[in-house]
């Protein structure tokens, strides 16, 4: 029986996942393989006795316990933006970043845990593009776990400094979805800042993004006096003794416009997540 189970795992992609969801199906599959092997070797077919069905069932349960089970998505939670991606000529990031202003971007997307990309959504203030499996195969997919996307901001709309890019991947079978938020530097935002975000220190040139667990305090500092504007639902920045501004990150996304006495602007986006989706199942 152990040999049949190993053979089933080799011959049937996703056998362990099938066993985890339906142990009885695993019993049927191993029985079918047993019959086929005996027909091929011309040996008499021996079906399992009824008294062996129960032990086989519990053996399948044991197999399913060893198989990885992905975490299920809670629709009521705002999850961390942690989709890994690499921008050619710029660098590799996880979930959020601010990119230098360019006329075009080549972005390679590869979800964690080798999750399949059954649907890719790319959304901005101007566009929403979707890529999914079609009858003729995968459209420009290198493989189901990777995708290369070319982004050219629309002149006068997406390159005005207020348009970011959301990249989301969705997996149909196991639900290992991923999300990313890309922002872009722009000449109209000239006020630099030093950002202390989630344990990291960053120098921000006019535009910044800070992601952390919702409710945690993050800080941003400017070299001259400033005034903040923010949405009503967002946390209020408070000036600390060292001259920086402390912001307890609100759930979801919050935008802050910062204006200095000299008239320079800074655009800050905070992202507060409530959960982290586990995607490794092996």
**pLDDT tier at 72 (50, 70, 90 boundaries)?**
confident
Is there a single domain that holds both residue 134 and residue 151? Answer: yes
Supply the pLDDT for residue 31. Answer: 65
CA 92 from chain center: how many Å? Answer: 14
Of residues 54 and 245, which shows the higher confidence score? 245
Predicted local confidence at residue 168, as pLDDT: 97
Residues 95 and 170 in one domain: yes
Min mean pLDDT across 1-15, 147-161, 230-244, 262-276 is at 1-15
Residue 146 maps to which CATH number? 2.60.40.10
Q: Domain check: are 85 and 115 in the same one? A: yes
Q: How confident is the model at residue 236 (pLDDT cuts 50, 70, 90)?
A: very high
Q: Which residues contact 179 (CB under 8 A, 6 or more apart)?
A: 79, 81, 82, 83, 95, 166, 167, 168, 169
47's tokens: 């079906």
Residue 147 has pLDDT above 60, yes or no: yes
User: Based on the domain organization, do 104 and 180 belong to the same domain?
Assistant: yes
Res 42: pLDDT: 60
Kindly report the average pLDDT of the chain as a whole number: 82
Q: Of the candidates 15, 39, 66, which is a domain's last residue? A: 66
* Of 61, 33, 63, the residue nearest 48 (C-alpha): 33
10 pLDDT more than 80: no
Q: Which helix (DSSP H) or strand (DSSP E) does residue 105 occupy?
A: strand 105-109
pLDDT score for 9: 47
Residues 36 and 93 in one domain: no
Do 179 and 195 lie in one domain? The reply is: no
Same domain, 98 and 157: yes
Strands across the sheet containing 252-260: 207-213, 265-273, 252-260, 226-230
Q: Tell me the average pLDDT across 205-229.
A: 97
- Cα(92)–Cα(86) distance, integer angstroms: 4
Pairing of strands 265-273, 207-213: parallel
Predicted confidence at residue 75, as pLDDT, reads 87
- Within this chain, do residues 46 and 84 fall inside the same structural domain, yes or no? no
> Count of CB atoms within 10 A of residue 62's CB?
11
pLDDT grade for 67, boundaries at 50, 70 and 90: very low
pLDDT band for position 116 (cuts 50, 70, 90): confident
d(CA 60, CA 101): 55
Per-residue pLDDT at 3 exceeds 90: no
Q: Indicate if 264 and 233 belong to the same structural domain.
A: yes
**Residue 6 vs residue 96, higher pLDDT:** 96
Query: Where do we find the tokens 């990249």?
Result: 167
Q: What CATH number does the domain containing 228 carry?
A: 2.60.40.1550
Average pLDDT over residues 67-73: 62
Asked if 141 and 43 sit in the same domain, the reply is: no
Residues 181 and 79 in one domain: yes
Q: Which residues form the domain of 14? A: 2-66
**Number of domains the chain is built from:** 3
Count CB-CB contacts under 10 A for residue 105: 19
Residue 151: the pLDDT is 97
Tell me what pLDDT residue 84 has: 97
Question: Of 47, 66, 85, which marks where a domain is finished?
Answer: 66
Strands 165-170, 178-184: pairing kind? antiparallel
pLDDT (mean) for 260-270: 97
Cα distance between residue 219 and residue 197, in whole Å: 7
Low-confidence winner among 50-54, 129-133, 154-158 (lowest mean pLDDT): 50-54
Compute the average pLDDT of residues 20-24. 50
Contacts of 38 (CB under 8 A, 6+ apart): 44, 45, 46
Query: Are 197 and 273 found together in one domain?
Result: yes
Domain boundary among 154, 185, 216: 185
- Reply yes or no on whether the pLDDT at 141 is more than 70: no
φ/ψ of 131, rounded to 5, equals: -130, 125
């Amino acid at each position: 029986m152990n040999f049949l189970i190993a053979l089933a795992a080799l011959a049937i992609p996703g056998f362990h996942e099938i066993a985890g969801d339906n142990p009885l199906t695993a019993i049927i599959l191993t029985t079918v393989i047993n019959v086929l092997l005996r027909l091929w070797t011309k040996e008499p077919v021996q079906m399992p006795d009824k008294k062996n069905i129960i032990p086989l069932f519990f053996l399948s349960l044991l197999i399913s316990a060893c198989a990885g089970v992905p975490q299920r998505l809670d629709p009521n939670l705002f999850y961390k933006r942690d989709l890994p991606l690499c921008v050619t000529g710029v660098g590799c990031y996880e979930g959020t970043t601010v990119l230098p202003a360019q006329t075009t971007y080549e972005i390679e997307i590869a979800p964690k845990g080798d999750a399949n990309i059954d649907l890719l959504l790319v959304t901005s203030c101007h566009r929403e593009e979707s890529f999914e499996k079609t009858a003729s195969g995968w459209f420009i997919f290198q493989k189901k776990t990777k995708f290369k996307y070319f982004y050219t901001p629309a002149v006068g709309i997406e390159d005005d400094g207020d348009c970011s890019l959301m990249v989301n991947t969705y997996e149909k079978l196991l639900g290992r979805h991923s999300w990313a938020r890309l922002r872009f530097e722009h000449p109209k935002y000239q006020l630099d800042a030093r950002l202390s975000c989630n344990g990291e220190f960053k120098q921000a040139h006019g535009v910044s993004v800070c992601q952390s667990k919702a409710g945690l305090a993050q800080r941003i500092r400017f070299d001259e006096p400033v005034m903040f504007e923010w949405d009503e639902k967002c946390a209020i920045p408070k000036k600390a003794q060292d001259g920086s501004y402390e912001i307890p990150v609100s759930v979801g996304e919050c935008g802050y416009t910062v204006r200095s006495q000299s008239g320079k602007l800074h655009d800050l986006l905070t992202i507060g997540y409530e959960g982290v989706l586990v995607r490794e199942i092996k």
